[in-house]
Structure 1
Amino acid sequence: MEFKPCVNICKEWDIVGARQLGREHAKSLGFSTVDQARIATAISELSRNIYLYAETGKICFEVIDQIDRKGLKIVAVDQGPGIQDISQVMQDGYSTSGGLGAGLPGVKRLMDHFEIVSSSKNGTEIETIKWVR
Structure 2
Amino acid sequence: MDHIFARFANRIAHIAGSPLTFLACVAVVIAWAIAGPFFGYSETWQLLINTGTTIVTFLMVFLIQNTQNRDGVALQTKLDELIRSSDAQNEFMGIEKLTDQELTALHERCEAAARKGHAALEQTRAERRRRGHEPPAGD
Report TM bin, short chain.
under 0.3
The TM-score with structure 1 as length reference comes to: 0.24
More strand by share: 1
